[in-house]
Structure 1
Amino acid sequence: MWARWLNVILGFWLVSAPFVLDYRLQEPQLNDLCVGLGTMLLALAAIAVPKLRYANTPLGMWLIVSPFVLGYSSYRAATFNDVIVGLLITVLSLVWDHRVWTPHRRPVTEA
């Protein structure tokens, strides 16, 4: 569950990154805002429903390629931030959670 909480924090960072890093272009601002909000919401959903843990994987992968697809790869601050945060989101969304795959066992009681 700790990985989901870290993704919530990374989502919050993405929402605030354009202001902290002073992005001058609209594409990385809007991209980070949308992906950040989506990451936070999906991570919170995965906390409540652990089987949704993979939900942030596509967002993390999109964040890695988005500077090149949207054409702001020459803006180093936004590109570096998006690629690094995208890698972290992707890896954290793939962290194995034993609660998802371990069946619940009832304690054995003797009659």
Structure 2
Amino acid sequence: MWARWLNVILGFWLVSAPFVLDYRLQQAQLNDLCVGLGAMLLALAAIAIPKLRYANTVLGVWLIVSPFLLGFGGYRAATLNDIIVGLLITALSLVWDHRDWTPHRRPLHA
């Protein structure tokens, strides 16, 4: 579950990054805001429903390729931030959680 909480923190960082790193490009700002909010919400949901963590895998991969697909690959701060955070989100979303494989037991009736 610790990996989900780290993804919540990374999502919060993404929402803050355009202001902290002073992105001037609207595509980078909007991308980080949307992906950051999505990553936070999905990570929080994955705490309750562990298989939802794979949705953050998709967001992480998107974050890695988005600077080049959205046309801000030449902006160093935004691009490096998105690639690094994208790799971290992807890796953390693939961290195994024992709850994924623990069978649910039904209570015994007396």
Superposition TM-score tier, normalisation by shorter sequence:
over 0.9
Between the two proteins, the alignment pairs up a number of residues equal to 106
Q: State the AA in 2 paired with 1:68.
A: F
Q: Which has the larger radius of gyration?
A: 1
In 2, Cα distance between the equivalents of 1:18 and 1:93?
23
TM-score by length of 2: 0.92
Matches within 5 A, 1:1-111: 1-104=1-104
TM-score by length of 1: 0.92
In 2, Cα distance between the equivalents of 1:58 and 1:25?
23
Unmatched segments (≥5 aa) in structure 1: 107-111
Q: 4+ runs of 1 displaced by more than 6 Å?
A: none
What is the percentage of aligned positions where both structures have the same residue?
A: 87
Unmatched segments (≥5 aa) in structure 2: none
C-alpha displacement of 1:105:
5.9
In 1, Cα distance between the equivalents of 2:51 and 2:78?
31
